[in-house]
Chains A and B, each alone.
With several copies, the nearest count.
Chain A
């Protein structure tokens, strides 16, 4: 039987199929549908220091071959996560990656300090799509300088693998990937959602309560594959690819572009069994192709 284990630097995963942050809650919701232990890891819903209420409704709408979401990081906050959500996740034997977000550098640092010692948490993922309130609202993820400084600081106090999640809403993602690597990121995950909006032509108003939202799903897959392909050439650290993955064929594009692991996001909503099936299909694919491990196809489409 082919071995699905992958090593992303110091992060060892039983297989390279992860649940993308924000699309899998804290795992519990899906536990009656699938065996959480089977997944490579669960990247839990974006966590902030204090609980957040999130954005006004409507928060989601469908778009051609995709969806927009403007959840607004609704989450129960650090304390409730540690006392209520994490124990349940650990009980289910899932590997947990915590996606953290904040409005200031201090938020990130506090979260990283509180979380990185906790047993059961295998890595942290920095969600940089939040506006930096101290720097006039510039997103952490769109400025090399602001991002680099944040990563350096978090790196300093975080003994576990640090994943930096890149936003696609930038002119040159390779530049930011490079800055993330230089500043000490162990792994890069990409892509987060593309900024988009839908207008309700009946009411002549933006449909989402938050006006704009993040576009995800198969619609953005070509953009995501391209970014993984480009970033693979500019950094040496491993990549986690995501954006519109629904099945094995989609995932293979990401591996071949250069991702060492993939995450399924909106695809979970359409098919709650997408991840376990992808894991099985990936194993069959490796066996059929006579491959020992996924590593043999990582970046194979690079020319």
Chain B
């Protein structure tokens, strides 16, 4: 579960996002869409804890995998300075992945910001299952948008939304999706990842829509493997609430499991 992955490539892909191509055969082989890696940032004591990043795609044949990350604070700033041939200490793949339905159908993927990362990986799996993939991707402005076309399989339909209208739909990605629905879009299932407010909004809306929907959550993590109980999220099952762990029970949850 613990490996040193070799950095094959690091590249800036938007005003504050980076693409990282890593070589590590075992992780490339074992990873499922929705799972994440818990990466140690440097060897210094600050930053102290590992940082979780979704796996954005794998190539088991080449033994490689992709990460997309956004510079948020100290840890990601330091990560953005790794260089080709550096080794990254990666724990994983961790967590449960997305589960997809058996039938051929239309899957809608909804991403806010860097939430696009796990959905890229997922879209490949869905396309292999012969599904139609529609990707709604929102960011605050054009410069924050990752060039999706170069990361997303060309078979996927892509719709952009920016808050300032600098690209695609002007407004939130949830609104763009609503417009799609208004125009007759019929998703068989939805997969979403992004900021909490976006997911919360989706969960609210879905009380009417009632689509099968899986969402990927984030929480601050220490161990990443279910030992510290640090990444708690309140979940409900048959009316009873209990404490779920994002790292072990998630990061992917059913939309109606999560108590906001």
Contacts and interface: CB of A to CB of B under 8 A. Distances in A.
Q: Do chains A and B touch in the complex (CB under 8 A)?
A: yes
Nearest to B75: A62
B45 interface: yes
A71 B2 contact: no
Given A24-B227, A64-B45, A71-B228, A272 B2 contact: yes
A238 B40 CA distance: 35
Interface stretch (B47-55, B136-144, B145-153): B47-55
A25 B223 CA distance: 10
A202 B101 CA distance: 41
Interface in A53-78: 53-67, 69, 71, 74
Contacts of B25: none
A58 B219 contact: yes
B225 A74 contact: no
Contacts of B91: 272
A60 B40 contact: no
A57 B227 contact: no
Contact of B228 (A22, A57, A61, A62): A22
Q: Is the interface of B mostly helix, strand, loop or mixed?
A: loop
A58 B220 contact: yes
A25 B49 CA distance: 17
A74 B50 contact: no
Nearest to A75: B229
Interface residues of B, number: 29
Nearest to B224: A269
A29 B227 contact: yes
A273 interface: yes
A141 interface: no
A214 to B, nearest CB: 12
A69 B222 contact: yes
A62 B232 contact: no
B195 interface: no
A189 to B, nearest CB: 19
A269 B49 contact: yes
Contacts of B229: 25, 45, 54, 59, 71, 74
A185 interface: no
Given A269-B50, A270-B40, A67 B232 contact: no
B222 to A, nearest CB: 4
Contacts of A30: 225, 227
Interface of B: 1-2, 40, 45-50, 91, 219-234, 242-243, 248
Given A64-B45, A74-B232, 6 more contacts: A33-B2, A53-B243, A62-B220, A67-B49, A266-B222, A269-B49
Interface of A: 22-25, 29-30, 32-33, 45, 53-67, 69, 71, 74, 217-218, 246, 266, 268-273
16 contacts: A23-B223, A25-B223, A25-B228, A25-B229, A29-B223, A29-B225, A29-B248, A56-B232, A60-B228, A63-B48, A67-B49, A69-B222, A69-B228, A71-B229, A269-B228, A273-B2
